[in-house]
Amino acid sequence: HVQLVESGGGLVQAGGSLGLSCAASPSIYNNHCMGWFRQVPGKEREGVARIDGSGRFTFYTDSTKGRFTISRADNTLHLQMTALKPEDSAIYYCAAMVTTGCSTSPSTFSYWGQGTQVTVS
């Protein structure tokens, strides 16, 4: 059974920190690129960060560089967010690829979690 389950969303004050987690089925976690995406009303889903199957290579969108950290270990994907801003408010989604590569395009990710709400005030 293939599954991604996110947790850790919530309400945080501007400048604060929040950590998100995504528990993944081993069949899609092992050796596969994974990423975090976010979406707000009226806008398309945006890639926030991604990490390759080995965990050695990462990518961050310009707006989160220096503030967010993506990591993976023990069938779990993490996103540590610091210095949060109101514009970071969105529903955050965990996703995984099943093919080779590690693109930032949402269309290249085959499996998605249900999403977790992050609100920065």
> Quick one: which of 1, 44, 37 has its CA closest to 22?
37
Among 29-33, 75-79, 90-94, the least confident range: 29-33
CB count in 10 Å sphere of residue 105: 10
Over 90: is that where the pLDDT of 37 sits?
yes
Over 70: is that where the pLDDT of 2 sits?
no
- Give me 56's structure tokens: 């050695």
CB 93 within 8 A of CB 113: yes
Tokens 């996103």 correspond to 79
CB 38 within 8 A of CB 45: yes
- Give me 69's structure tokens: 């950290």
What percentage of the chain exceeds 90 in pLDDT?
Answer: 83
